[in-house]
Amino acid sequence: MDEEYLEAVLDLVEAVPPGRATTYGALAEVVRERLGRGGPRSVGRVMALAGGAVPWWRVVNAAGAPPASHRAEALRRLRAEGCPLTGPDDDARVALRRAFWWPGDAADVSAARGGGGS
């Protein structure tokens, strides 16, 4: 995993607002547009190796399910942020039709890094 790809993914994850979520595939599509490489599994690898310092719980699979190995913690954090979920139980998923976030433009990512956009 190269540093440029890793930083591109982590910058996008930092930009996901509280109460919203995005998918590995959406992140991969944006990074692929910018860098010409990678896919959802590459994003998952970045999150597994280096995602601890960013709001990792806001990244889910295409069905809205958080990472299986951290499911309970992810759901706790998502609930605390008011993210729409499919139910109150531990099998809940993110209600992506209501919670999905897509980076609007470079200003979203710049603002997450503290750049404030232009």
Q: What is the CATH number of the domain that holds 71?
A: 1.10.10.10
- The verdict on residue 110 lying in a domain is no
Give the global pTM. Answer: 0.87
- The verdict on residue 25 lying in a domain is yes
- The verdict on residue 117 lying in a domain is no
Three-state secondary structure call for residue 60: strand
pLDDT per residue over 85-97, tens digit each? Answer: 999 888 899 999 9
- The verdict on residue 37 lying in a domain is yes
- The verdict on residue 107 lying in a domain is no
Report the C-alpha gap between 105 and 114 in whole angstroms.
15
- The verdict on residue 32 lying in a domain is yes
pLDDT per residue over 102-112, tens digit each? Answer: 986 545 554 55
Question: Are 66 and 81 in contact, with CB atoms under 8 Å apart?
Answer: no
Q: Which two tokens stand for residue 29?
A: 């599509």
What is the tally of structural domains in the chain?
Answer: 1
Range of the domain at 26: 3-99
